[in-house]
Structure 1
Amino acid sequence: MSTAETKAAVVGAAGSGSGAGARRVARTAWGITFMVMLFQMINYADKAVLGIVARPLSEDLGLSHADIGLLGSAFFILFSVTGLIGGFVADRIKIVWMLLGMVVLWSVLQVPIVLMGTFGALLVCRILLGAAEGPAASLNNVAVFGWFPKDKRALPAAIVTTGGSLAKVMLAPALAIVVAACGWKAAFLALGALGLAWSVVWLVVGKDGPYSVSRARERAQASSGTGKVARVAFWRIAIRPTFWGGSLGMLAIYGFVAVVLTWLPSYFEQGLGFSRLNSGFLFALPSITGVGALLFSSIVSDRLIRRGRSVRAARGGVAVVAFVLCGVMLLVLPYVTNSWTAVFLVVTAYGVGLATFPLMQIAVSHICPERQVASTVGVSVAIYQASGLLAPWLAGRIIDAAPTLAEGYATAFQTVGITAIVGAVLIALTVDPERDRARIAALDALTHADGSVDDEVLLSGGER
């Protein structure tokens, strides 16, 4: 979107061209960003609650470690599938209603757990909850993208992503207190109530922004016949290097996040010799480094855009630097003998790696028509989330095969570091959003021309 179109969209959303109208739009945009960050916090707390209630739950119902592990894995059975489908649905339904429906469903699914309190109810509800939360990882940023032009999306996307880290720092301790005082069922009840409270507020304040998919549909209808790209076949997006290279490159970082969530406390305790209590406290450190890295990288990325640097440099380039830093820190982990140095390397690598998520979602969303942002980002996220199913299991196999637990954990994290370096190389070679956006637009023009061929486009290799 050009600068003129950007100003027109903002003016239209504000209802006037006045400075006061623009300020109202800005306040609304940041208010929506805050609400979506809370959405992300609830989403993450729903995932993390099982770890918080694991011990009292197993004692109350007589569950084994394998049973608890099954409940954890059950969440991901339909997670990526609905994440993929949800993006295509969001191309056709207003994102504000998508988010509302998802949170209401999350809240309702807590009720059978509280009322029945059986292993079977837990298993079914966790499967359904995973299905209901699958689209959240992509749609949360899509909702925020609707309120900001492309050159200003990194910071709000980073703020939304910090919701997961803030949930670990703020909601997880609160839920632990609730469990200690009222039992494990109360944690699920509290999450259901929190989700319903968010839904009531969202019903009042939630709205689609001037750059949203729904507004893009309206603009596409209004500008039909002007040569602008309204919609393209999805396979044309999927074959572009930015899409598949960015999606495959992110497999390493999402796998790292899954390994951290599953094994980091055990690494601190069994691998580095910290007490169980101290390991629990140290587990909060990655969230702190994650928030810092997300905000810093987003500010740097947006500033590069404002200074005229390409999207490839500002989004993909910053992400590549983060990948390399993350990978190098994990690569040297087995050679570190000081426990605190090892803690520093792991938690810093986690924070730096986390910063790549909003950057790559912005890069991938840049190549497609605005009305297809939800499906494009949704499929990309679904692809790299697949590593969450495999990475913790592979890490466990590496740990079991090692001579000592300390060596096993260090080797598992080193393996993640190697994949991060590979991901950095892949992204550096493939991600070029401006190139791929131009080629998608040019190919669309060629395909839909009335029997004629645009020689200029052909001679330029499909790029304008």
Structure 2
Amino acid sequence: MTAEQTAVPIVAQSRPDNRRRAWSMTGLVVFLYIINYADKAVLGIIAQPMARELGLTSAQIGMVGSLFFLTFTIGGFFAGPLNKYLTLRWALLILAAAWSVVMLPLLISASLVTLIVGRMLLGLAEGPSSALMHTATYSWHPPNKRGLPGAFLMASGSIAKILLAPVLTFITINYGWRTTVAVLTVLGVTWMVCWLIGWTEGPYTGKAPKAEAGDADDAVASVPWRKILLSRTFVSCGALTIVVYGLSTVVLTWLPSYFERGLGYSALQAGSMLAIPAIVTLILLITSGFVTDRLMGRGASSRTVRIIVPCIGVLVCGIVLAALPLVDVPMLAVIALSIGYGAASMAFPLINAAISELCPPQQTAGTMGAFLATMAIGGLIAPYATGVIIDNAATPTAGYTLVFQVIGILAAIAAVAALLLANPDRDRRAILG
């Protein structure tokens, strides 16, 4: 019997081991995503003490947040080239090393200029990493089983808020914001050691031999990028995630400040209360990922599972946020915002999985990089616009609630548009046909 004849049985026999290996590798990527998210979120945690020390206005803090997402968007387009010329192992290691050190000059010379430069370099280094982390995770999971691992990736933000945000807030209050920045560098270096020791690439990358992957789609030839990027699914889902990502960046940059200045909680309470929306989001992300993967396994269409479900979540978010100005009890406002944010966050893993279906495996990193860079446009606008609105509002509370109301209305409109236009199954056939 030839090696070619025995290849498939060997894969089949080792499948349980492969699944355990797949989830251990997914856990390693989730660890990185937690650190990645903490690096993004730290500006919101240190914003108020840094603003008091450096004399920064809300508009300036918002500008720093938006400039981060400017370079983050630009960096996203480098995901494809990095994946082409480097292995996932070395590409992510280099990026993690870069974002672990770029904020360190701020510890020596704290100023608005140093803050801007550091956050822009951080955005540039983190830009390609999200697409590459999705590609690394997807390399261990076939297309019809990517909802749950994608949910764990996106749940990393919630895990960071639940586990790290209270700790980083405590460190900031008791030891200063500079210590918080240094702690994140140590976490980055720790992950790099774990990555070098533990990571191996999975079979669903488009680079592996067909027999190893066991997936006929691996033999599909590359297609013109315009067919992917101009498809109705890509465009409408891109518009939807721009709005949802805008909400996420407002939460990253401004939520602790909203809890403190807008709702009257103490600084320690405000930082710790990031765990409330994080817990809601974590529950909804994991539940939706598990349920939708089961539905896909039972024959449900990708449109039903990865378009209709997240669009309903974003629509719920839009309704809740649009009604937020009517809520005048602080804790009810926290709960309403948590439900709205959690419902919208379900969109990220499900729609990311839908977008990954549009292309051949070897074009996954480039497609995800372009999609995530498009999504990050929301981050270019939302943090700075929020700061301007707060500075010009009658009260901080009025400014924050107006921002959330506007985002809610835009989210509802984008959800309806995606419901009408997006269909991954239809567009995949058109693209590969």
TM-score normalized with structure 2 length: 0.88
Q: What's the CA shift for 1:176?
A: 3.5
Q: What's the CA shift for 1:127?
A: 1.9
Q: Residues 49-64 of structure 1: matches in 2 within 5 Å?
A: 49-54=42-47, 57=50, 62-64=54-56
Q: Which residue does the alignment assign to 2:303?
A: 312
Q: For the residues of structure 1 that align with 2:403 and 2:40, how far apart are their CA atoms?
A: 23
The answer (yes or no) to whether the contact 2:355–2:368 under 8 Å persists in 1 is: yes
Gaps of 5+ in 1: 1-7, 443-464
The answer (yes or no) to whether the contact 1:83–1:134 under 8 Å persists in 2 is: yes
Greater shift, 170-179 or 395-404, is seen at 395-404
User: What is the one-letter code of the residue matched to 2:156?
Assistant: G
Residues 74 and 231 (structure 1), Cα distance of their counterparts in 2 relative to 1, 3 Å cut: same
Q: For the residues of structure 1 that align with 2:419 and 2:45, how far apart are their CA atoms?
A: 39
The answer (yes or no) to whether the contact 1:269–1:279 under 8 Å persists in 2 is: yes
Please state if 1:16 is matched with 2:10.
yes
Q: Which residue does the alignment assign to 1:326?
A: 317
Q: What's the CA shift for 1:272?
A: 4.0
Please state if 1:435 is matched with 2:429.
no
User: Which of 374, 395, 400 is residue 383 of structure 1 equivalent to?
Assistant: 374
Q: Residues 268-417 of structure 1: matches in 2 within 5 Å?
A: 268-399=259-390, 404-417=395-408
Please state if 1:239 is matched with 2:230.
yes
Q: Residues 21-170 of structure 1: matches in 2 within 5 Å?
A: 21-54=14-47, 57=50, 62-65=54-57, 68-69=61-62, 71-114=64-107, 120-170=113-163
- CA RMSD between the two structures: 2.9
Residues 378 and 227 (structure 1), Cα distance of their counterparts in 2 relative to 1, 3 Å cut: closer
Q: What's the CA shift for 1:392?
A: 2.7
Please state if 1:201 is matched with 2:194.
yes
Q: For the residues of structure 2 that align with 1:67 and 1:322, how far apart are their CA atoms?
A: 32
Q: What's the CA shift for 1:409?
A: 2.9
Q: For the residues of structure 2 that align with 1:337 and 1:180, how far apart are their CA atoms?
A: 28
Q: What's the CA shift for 1:219?
A: 4.3
Q: For the residues of structure 2 that align with 1:386 and 1:231, how far apart are their CA atoms?
A: 27
Q: For the residues of structure 1 that align with 2:192 and 2:397, how far apart are their CA atoms?
A: 45
Residues 22 and 175 (structure 1), Cα distance of their counterparts in 2 relative to 1, 3 Å cut: same
Q: For the residues of structure 2 that align with 1:219 and 1:136, how far apart are their CA atoms?
A: 26
Q: For the residues of structure 1 that align with 2:276 and 2:107, how far apart are their CA atoms?
A: 32
Q: For the residues of structure 1 that align with 2:258 and 2:108, how far apart are their CA atoms?
A: 36
Residues 176 and 94 (structure 1), Cα distance of their counterparts in 2 relative to 1, 3 Å cut: same
Q: Which residue does the alignment assign to 1:214?
A: 207
Q: For the residues of structure 2 that align with 1:187 and 1:403, how far apart are their CA atoms?
A: 33
Q: What's the CA shift for 1:269?
A: 4.2
The answer (yes or no) to whether the contact 1:157–1:358 under 8 Å persists in 2 is: yes
Residues 111 and 261 (structure 1), Cα distance of their counterparts in 2 relative to 1, 3 Å cut: closer
The answer (yes or no) to whether the contact 1:208–1:214 under 8 Å persists in 2 is: no
Residues 404 and 381 (structure 1), Cα distance of their counterparts in 2 relative to 1, 3 Å cut: same
Write the deviation string for residues 6-56 of structure 1: whole angstroms up to 9, x where unpaired: xx9xx77xx93464x222211211111111111111111212233434455
Residues 323 and 55 (structure 1), Cα distance of their counterparts in 2 relative to 1, 3 Å cut: closer
Q: For the residues of structure 2 that align with 1:177 and 1:266, how far apart are their CA atoms?
A: 15
Q: Which residue does the alignment assign to 1:460?
A: none
Residues 264 and 122 (structure 1), Cα distance of their counterparts in 2 relative to 1, 3 Å cut: closer
Q: For the residues of structure 2 that align with 1:339 and 1:110, how far apart are their CA atoms?
A: 34
Q: Which residue does the alignment assign to 2:166?
A: 173
TM-score normalized with structure 1 length: 0.83
Q: What's the CA shift for 1:317?
A: 1.3
Q: For the residues of structure 2 that align with 1:275 and 1:393, how far apart are their CA atoms?
A: 24
Q: What's the CA shift for 1:308?
A: 0.7
Q: Secondary structure at the match of 1:212?
A: coil
Q: For the residues of structure 2 that align with 1:335 and 1:83, how far apart are their CA atoms?
A: 38
Residues 401 and 58 (structure 1), Cα distance of their counterparts in 2 relative to 1, 3 Å cut: closer
Write the deviation string for residues 88-142 of structure 1: whole angstroms up to 9, x where unpaired: 4324432222211111222232444445566654443322121101112222222
Residues 194 and 290 (structure 1), Cα distance of their counterparts in 2 relative to 1, 3 Å cut: same
User: What is the one-letter code of the residue matched to 1:294?
Assistant: L
Q: Secondary structure at the match of 1:135?
A: helix
**How many percent of aligned residue pairs carry the same amino acid?**
38
Residues 134 and 369 (structure 1), Cα distance of their counterparts in 2 relative to 1, 3 Å cut: same
Q: Which residue does the alignment assign to 1:5?
A: none
Q: Which has the higher contact order (CA 8 A, sep 6+)?
A: 2
Q: For the residues of structure 2 that align with 1:409 and 1:38, how far apart are their CA atoms?
A: 32
Gaps of 5+ in 2: none
The answer (yes or no) to whether the contact 1:319–1:355 under 8 Å persists in 2 is: yes
Residues 401 and 121 (structure 1), Cα distance of their counterparts in 2 relative to 1, 3 Å cut: closer
Q: What's the CA shift for 1:183?
A: 4.2
User: Which of 219, 243, 247 is residue 252 of structure 1 equivalent to?
Assistant: 243
The alignment of Structure 1 onto Structure 2 pairs a total of residues equal to 424
The answer (yes or no) to whether the contact 1:322–1:355 under 8 Å persists in 2 is: yes
Q: For the residues of structure 2 that align with 1:232 and 1:338, how far apart are their CA atoms?
A: 54
Q: For the residues of structure 1 that align with 2:60 and 2:392, how far apart are their CA atoms?
A: 23
Greater shift, 363-372 or 332-341, is seen at 332-341
The answer (yes or no) to whether the contact 1:326–1:349 under 8 Å persists in 2 is: yes
Residues 77 and 247 (structure 1), Cα distance of their counterparts in 2 relative to 1, 3 Å cut: closer
Residues 77 and 321 (structure 1), Cα distance of their counterparts in 2 relative to 1, 3 Å cut: closer
User: What is the one-letter code of the residue matched to 2:10?
Assistant: S
Residues 170 and 334 (structure 1), Cα distance of their counterparts in 2 relative to 1, 3 Å cut: same
Greater shift, 188-197 or 306-315, is seen at 188-197
